[in-house]
Structures are given as structure tokens and as C-alpha cells.
Structure 1
Amino acid sequence: MATYESLIKLKGSLDDLVFYNLNGKNVVRKKSGFNKNSFKKSASYEKVRQNSSEFGHCSKIGKTIRHCLDFYIKKSEDPLLYQKFAKVMTEIKDLDIVSEKGKRSVKKGLETELGYQLLKKFQFGIIENLENIAPVSTGLWDKSLILDKNTACDEMVVETLSVDFESYTSKNFQQVINIHKESNEYLFEKHFSDEELLLHFVVLKNEGKIVKMGFV
């Protein structure tokens, strides 16, 4: 980009140059080599198209999941959380080894053991992650969680998320459970179809304050 002085004020393009006014100065620059039509069709842009498609997918899935957890995310006090969450969505997507490049998905990544472990290990800002809850067990009519009796909490909130990975929409159901020290297994209601890939987000509170939260 360069400025120029001339009695004739040019605006528009001439050959490979573009003339315009920026903050009161006459500016000239070379046209960008990017061509929208070439990007869509040229073989040389194939890898770029693949990366762009997968990046958009991960970003949308991250936003869809975060939408259900917005109240808790605000408690995390992390202004960069959405970027960190998008990054872990990308890492999970990379574990999809059954789809072709450009069509790899977060869902396929989550169906792997390592993929779901990445989601479980994600920490929401200043709130401690959950390391003391056994995996969710599924019964005929309900599900259960086993909590370490030494955990200082008096209330558990279970958010069950049903995510549509194709339309980028989601539904969630919340259940609040009182913690009793005489037991460490807690049942919560079974919602949505067993055929769906469901995510379970658990929040532990003590005297109304969130002490730990995360996916289980």
C-alpha cells in the first residue's frame, strides 16, 4: 500500500492497481491475488478448502455446546474460553480417522475413547475440573454417577446435552440432586434416545458456590 499525490483523484481499479481514499489520503495498492471462483474450484486450493470447512464445523459445534452451558461459562471468568473450547473441538475432530479430509467431524472424534477424554479434561476457566467422578452408568430407566465421598459439596447439577452435529442445534435437560454423605452413588433421569451421542455436564456446588464442573 502506498500514498500518491496527483491533481487527478483516482478511485477504482486500473490494471492490477486499486485506487481509493483512506483517512483523507489517496492510496494505491496492488490487487489481491485471491480469486473467489478459483478458491471454490481450483485444485490448488483443495487443502485450504478442506481446512476451512473443518474449522467452520468445529467453531459451530463449539458454539452449539457452549450455548447450553452459557450460565456456567460466565462463572468461569475466562474471556478466552470460547477460543480454548474451539481448539479442543479441533483436537477432537482430528481423531476422526474414518472420514475423509475436509469432512472430519467432532462427533466421530467424540466416539473415540481419547476424544471423549479430551472433552472431560477441559477446564472451564478458574473452576476446578472433575477428577473424582466415575463414568456415567446407564440403567434401564435412569443413569448414575459415583462421587468421591470426600468431595466438599452439598448439591450436584447434571446437564444432559443432546447435540445435533448436522444442524448445529442442541437440547438440554437439567436435574438438581442433593448430596447425602451416607451415599456416593447418585441417580439422575434418563433423557433423550440411547441412540444419540449425549454429553453429560456436571456442576458441584457447596453452599451455593460452584466448586467443580466439567464433562463426565
Structure 2
Amino acid sequence: MGKQVSLFKFTGRIGDVVSYYLNGELTSRTIGKVDGEKMRTAVQYEETRKNQSEFAIASQAGKLFRQGLMQFTKGYTGYAYPVEVVQILLQTLRSDHLLPKGQKQIRNGLKNSSSQLALSRLKIFCKRETAIYGNTLVQQTKDAQIWQLNRKLLFAKGISGDLLTIHLGYYHVDFENSVANYELAAAITCHRSENTDQNNITLSTPVEISTPWTFIILQVWREAGIKEVPCMTYMAVVGVIDNEDTINDVNRSFRNSNE
């Protein structure tokens, strides 16, 4: 709000006029207005419209991604999570080199390896002590259906709880058609006293492969104990599956077997 400093002079804003001191001199300027119709149609605002469109697409895609996992994340994630998801998806959208600006699609941008890497490192939720899990708690083996669990890291120093359950799930997403479905692929419960360094986790065959992309979601849950209450302690994306490439590989193998 403007502050009157004399009968006719003020600093701050009153209406469309802003006054301020610049090099000791009181300066006033009028805030320009952009006509809504010009913003929608004028040539000089074409890039602005495209940028706004891309941000709107990324925001809607981020909302879809988050809502599909709300059954797990409600009450856990913080304010930074939605922002990070939108930022990653905006960069993913802009990585689409098949379509011109203003028509780009996230499904095409995900073909870019840097986009896949950014999403596969997305940390959805963690506690301070579980931040060490990073991208090394589970690792995919040469067999795409088998993941290796690092038991030493799971029960590392500072990790509370003697009984932890690991969930790996398929998150099938079609950003362009607003489809997001979660499917549990494997679960394993581990006790701190078990004398083993690693466990292999075999994922079930996904029921649904109708979406262009599937994300592998890792969750760590602390089970109830004498001093602990059950809760999720970690959640992250650990893998990205291009279903179109998978289907093409299957089709190629089928054709080769019949030649």
C-alpha cells in the first residue's frame, strides 16, 4: 500500500502508479497493462503463450502423478515434492524433439535418457535417517524382473525399527490420457537380526501394460514394535520402463521365432 510523504507525494503503490526513491530522487511510474485479447492472439506473445501452455501441461501431469500415489503419500510428503515433480516433467516435456514447441508431449520427452534419469532419481518421501538409501538400497540385476536389496544399508546405523517391509510396485502412467494406476509387484519383510547382506526380490509380471510408461516405485515401511509405531520411512522412483520398447522387443522375438 502507498504511504503519503507530503500533500501530493507518496512512496509505494496507489492504483496503477508506483513511486519510489532512485538515487535520492522520488520517481513515479505507471504499471503497464497487457490486454487479454492481445495476449491470446497477438504474434508478439506467441512464445509467451507456448511457455504458458507447457507449464500448464507439466502442472496437470504433475497433479496426475501425485494423485495416483496419494493412497501412500497422504500425510507424508512436504511442500517441495509437488514443485520438484512439475519441474522434472516440464524439462521432460521440453525434451520432446519429435513435435514443435506448443505441441510437445511428455511421453515423447521420456524417450530422452536424461529425462528417465531425472525421474528414476525422484525421492518422493524420506525421513532424515533414511536419506542415505538414495538410489542404492535396491538395484536392478541383469534380469529386469529381479532386484537386489542391500540389507546392510536397509538397517544401517541410525535406522530405527527391527522389522522393515519393502514394497516394489509398478506405477502405470499415461500423461496424455490422464491414466495413473499403481500395482504391487513384490513385498518382502526383513528383520534386523537376520544374518544376510543381500536379498533378491522378484517382481511379478505386470497385469497392465496399456500405458506408454511404467515407473518402479520403492517403499520402505517400519512395522510396529515395542517402541515403534508403523509408518512409511522412505518412498522413491527407482526405475522407468518404456512399455512401447518392451512390446516391440516381444514382437521382434515372436517374428524371429517364426522365421
Do Structure 1 and Structure 2 share a fold, with TM-score over 0.5? yes
Measured after TM superposition, the shift of residue 61 of structure 1 is 0.6
TM-score (ref. length: structure 2): 0.61
For residues 187 and 123 of structure 2, what CA distance do their matches in structure 1 show? 22
What does 1:19-34 correspond to in 2, within 5 Å? 29=16, 33-34=33-34
Specify the alignment match of 1:196 in structure 2: 212
| Partner Cα separation in structure 1 for residue 67 and residue 204 of structure 2 | 22
Equivalent residue letter for 1:148: N
Residues 67 and 104 (structure 1 numbering): CA distance in 2 closer, same or farther, change over 3 Å? same
Q: Secondary structure at the residue paired with 1:93?
A: helix
3-state SS in 1 of match to 2:45: helix
1:83 and 2:83 are equivalent in the alignment? yes
2:105 pairs with 1:105: yes
Q: 2:180 — aligned with what?
A: 170
Kept in 1: contact 2:93–2:105 (CA 8 A): yes
Match of 1:210 in 2: 232
2:170 & 2:76 partners in 1: Cα distance? 19
**How many residues are aligned here?**
190
SS of the residue aligned with 2:38?
helix
CA separation in 2, counterparts of 1:91 and 1:111?
A: 12
Q: Look up the match of 1:133.
A: 138
Superimposed CA distance per residue, residues 135-177 of structure 1 (whole angstroms, 9 cap, x where no aligned partner): 48777xxx33222232236322233222222232322223451
Residue 74 of structure 2 aligns to a residue in which SS?
helix
Q: Distance in 2 between matches of 1:70 and 1:136?
A: 29
Aligned ranges 1:144-163 → 2 under 5 Å: 144-150=146-152, 151-152=154-155, 154-163=164-173
Query: CA 1:136 to 1:107, structure 2 compared with 1: closer, same or farther past 3 Å?
Result: farther
CA contact (8 A) 1:130 1:212 kept: no
In structure 2, the partner of 1:21 is none
Gap runs ≥5 in structure 2 = 3-13, 17-29, 156-162, 191-195, 224-229, 239-259
Does the CA-based 8 Å contact 1:132-1:147 persist in structure 2? yes
Mean alpha-carbon deviation: is it higher for 59-68 or for 96-105?
A: 96-105
* 1:2-54 Cα shifts (integer Å, max 9, x gaps): 8xxxxxxxxxxxxxxxxxxxxxxxx8648963223322222111100110110
Secondary structure at the aligned position of 1:48 is classed as: helix
Unaligned runs of 5+ residues in structure 1 are 3-26
Distance in 2 of aligned mates of 1:45 and 1:132: 48
Q: Secondary structure at the match of 1:192?
A: coil
